[in-house]
Structure 1
Amino acid sequence: MRLTIFWERMADHFGGSYADSFARDHVMADLGGRTVHEALNEGWEAKEVWRVVCAAVDIPADKR
């Protein structure tokens, strides 16, 4: 998954401004205690980060 697609999906689900806030502030255990931004900056694949976000906030299967 390209980062542009990842951020489009984040914005679609959370809204443009909240997507970035969520990504900066929400620490997730399944990302090893990292935020979305930290995980992506440390080299995690966008697809894997998206899967973690989906599980954490119960994004419907058709949006995954």
Structure 2
Amino acid sequence: MRLQEFWGQLRDQFGDVRGEAIARDHVFSAFDGRTAVGAIENGVPVRTVWLAICEEFDVPAQAR
């Protein structure tokens, strides 16, 4: 998954404002207390971050 796809999926699933907030403000225990953006900046694969968001926010399997 590319970063552009990641942002597109976030917008599609959560809307512009909420998707942005989830990525930049929500702290994930899966990333040792980092945000999704922080995890990506620290080298966590984008797909891994997307799947963690899906798990945390109960995104349906067909949207993952």
TM bucket (normalised to shorter chain) is over 0.9
Percent of aligned pairs with the same amino acid: 39
Q: Counterpart amino acid of 2:43?
A: G
Q: What TM-score do the two structures reach when normalised by structure 2?
A: 0.93
Write the deviation string for residues 24-61 of structure 1: whole angstroms up to 9, x where unpaired. 11001011111011001111110000110010000000
In proportion to residue count, which structure has more strand?
2
Displacement over 6 Å in runs of 4+: none
1:48 equivalent in alignment to 2:35: no
CA RMSD in angstroms, aligned pairs only:
0.8
Gaps of 5+ in 1: none
Q: What TM-score do the two structures reach when normalised by structure 1?
A: 0.93
Counterpart for residue 31 of structure 2: 31
